[in-house]
Amino acid sequence: MSSTEQRRTGETLDVDRSDAGYRGWLKEAVRKVQADANRSADTHLLRYPLPEEWGIDLYLKDESTHPTGSLKHRLARSLFLYGLCNGWIRPGRPVIEASSGSTAVSEAYFAKLIGVPFVAVMPRTTSAEKCRLIEFHGGRCHFVDDPRTMYEASAALAAETGGHYMDQFTYAERATDWRGNNNIAESIFRQLELERFPEPAWIVATAGTGGTSATLARYVHYMQYDTRICVADPDNSCFFEGWTTGDTDVTCDCGSRIEGIGRPRMEPSFVPGAIDRMMKVPDAAAVAAVRALEHAIGRKAGGSTGTGLWSALRIVAGMVAAGERGSVVTLLCDPGDRYLDKYYSDAWLAAQDLDIAPYARTIDAFLTTGEWPQG
Ligand X SMILES: Cc1ncc(COP(=O)(O)O)c(C=O)c1O
DSSP letters of 175-240? HS-TT-SS-HHHHHHHHTTTSSS-S-SEEEEE-SSSHHHHHHHHHHHHTT---EEEEEE-SS-SHH
| Shorter beta-carbon distance to ligand X: residue 227 or 305 | 305
H or E element at residue 75: helix 72-85
237 binds ligand X (CB under 6 A): no
| Shorter beta-carbon distance to ligand X: residue 163 or 260 | 260
SS3 content of the chain, % helix, strand, coil (to 5): 45, 15, 40
> What is the CA 33 to chain-centroid distance, rounded?
19
- The residues in 172-191 that bind ligand X, with binding defined as CB under 6 A, are 172
302 binds ligand X (CB under 6 A): yes
Q: How many CA atoms does the CB half-sphere of 189 hold within 13 Å? A: 21
211 binds ligand X (CB under 6 A): yes
| Shorter beta-carbon distance to ligand X: residue 104 or 360 | 104
The answer to whether residues 62 and 44 touch, using CB atoms and an 8 Å cutoff, is: yes
Minimum CB separation of residue 105 from ligand X in Å reads: 9
Amino acid letter, residue 337: D
77 binds ligand X (CB under 6 A): no
| Shorter beta-carbon distance to ligand X: residue 255 or 319 | 255
| Shorter beta-carbon distance to ligand X: residue 287 or 320 | 287
Q: Which of 57, 60, 66, 72 binds ligand X (CB under 6 A)?
A: 72
| Shorter beta-carbon distance to ligand X: residue 304 or 367 | 304
| Shorter beta-carbon distance to ligand X: residue 175 or 319 | 175
68 binds ligand X (CB under 6 A): no
Minimum CB separation of residue 276 from ligand X in Å reads: 16
Selected range binding ligand X among 16-24, 208-216, 348-356, 362-370, rule: CB under 6 A: 208-216
334 binds ligand X (CB under 6 A): yes
Q: State how far the Cα of 184 lies from the Cα of 182, in Å rounded to an integer.
A: 6
Selected range binding ligand X among 38-46, 53-61, 209-217, 315-323, rule: CB under 6 A: 209-217
Selected range binding ligand X among 210-218, 241-249, 287-295, 357-365, rule: CB under 6 A: 210-218
Q: State how far the Cα of 175 lies from the Cα of 178, in Å rounded to an integer.
A: 9
The answer to whether residues 270 and 19 touch, using CB atoms and an 8 Å cutoff, is: no
242 binds ligand X (CB under 6 A): no
Rounded to a whole number, what is the distance in angstroms from the first to the last CA of the chain? Answer: 79
H or E element at residue 141: strand 140-144
70 binds ligand X (CB under 6 A): yes
* CB burial readout 179-190, b (16+ within 10 A) else e: eeeebbbbbbbe
Contact residues toward ligand X (CB under 6 A) are: 70-72, 100, 102-103, 172, 206-212, 260-261, 302, 304, 333-334
